């Protein structure tokens, strides 16, 4: 998901030409494509809109180069990119990233930077606060009570798992709603499925205790 805006400082026609040239080189493909939603498309849209709607004017969707409804766009709908860090980090880590493109001017004049900060300050703060949307907790060994790193936390119906940290912690961003969550790790019995309700701006705490596979004292063993 990419956010777009440009209104804080106008570009000359020459600057626009340079910008478009640089952008095409970076993309490596023409500025066309097809919508390519991820399993967490609703989360990416929530995060993108959180930024755009708290920006001074990004949500207007009017730029000096193109127009974007609500000031956001799915990356592949705008242009295709092979080997991007956003996709890599999403697939191979717990990281969800946005690209924020703030202007058609690649090198804004120094005297405009203070205004750019004012334009983006509230959006940045609200974006940081968005970390509190979803489910979080720890995964521990039910016998030793030690943290379990590398456990998979899955939400039924969403094809993207989150992996617990070296301290057994996990953070799973979601939009508000009802979810069924399960935790598993090789060598352990899969946890029971737990239904939770997620409210906006207030992360639901959900901790898991996993029993070793050979433990006969586990519930249901």
Mind telling me the catalytic residues? 101
Closest among 183, 145, 189 to 163, alpha carbons compared: 183
Closest among 76, 84, 73 to 49, alpha carbons compared: 73
> d(Cα 58, Cα 123) in Å, to the nearest integer?
10
Task: Output phi, psi for 149, to 5 deg.
Answer: -80, 155
> d(Cα 219, Cα 221) in Å, to the nearest integer?
6
Q: Which residue in the block uniquely carries the two structure tokens 């000359």?
A: 12
Task: Output phi, psi for 162, to 5 deg.
Answer: -110, 145
């Amino acid at each position: 998901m990419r956010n777009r805006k440009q209104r804080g400082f106008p570009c000359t026609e020459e600057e626009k030409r340079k910008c478009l040239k640089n952008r095409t080189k970076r993309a490596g493909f023409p500025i066309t494509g097809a919508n390519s939603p991820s399993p967490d498309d609703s989360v990416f849209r929530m995060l993108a809109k959180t930024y755009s709607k708290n920006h001074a004017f990004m949500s207007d969707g009017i730029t000096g180069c193109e127009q974007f409804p609500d000031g956001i766009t799915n990356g592949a709908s705008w242009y295709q990119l092979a080997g991007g860090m956003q996709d890599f980090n999403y697939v191979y880590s717990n990281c969800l990233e946005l690209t924020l493109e703030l202007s058609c001017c690649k090198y804004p004049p120094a005297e405009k930077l203070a205004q750019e900060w004012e334009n983006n300050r509230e959006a940045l703060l609200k974006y940081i606060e968005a970390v509190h949307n979803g489910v979080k907790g720890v995964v521990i060994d039910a016998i030793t009570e030690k943290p379990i790193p590398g456990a998979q936390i899955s939400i039924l119906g969403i094809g993207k798992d989150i992996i617990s940290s070296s301290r057994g912690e996990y953070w799973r961003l979601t939009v508000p709603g009802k979810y069924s969550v399960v935790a598993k790790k090789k060598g352990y019995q899969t946890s029971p499925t737990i239904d939770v309700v997620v409210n906006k701006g207030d992360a639901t705490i959900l901790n898991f205790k996993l029993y070793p596979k050979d433990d006969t004292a586990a519930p249901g063993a």
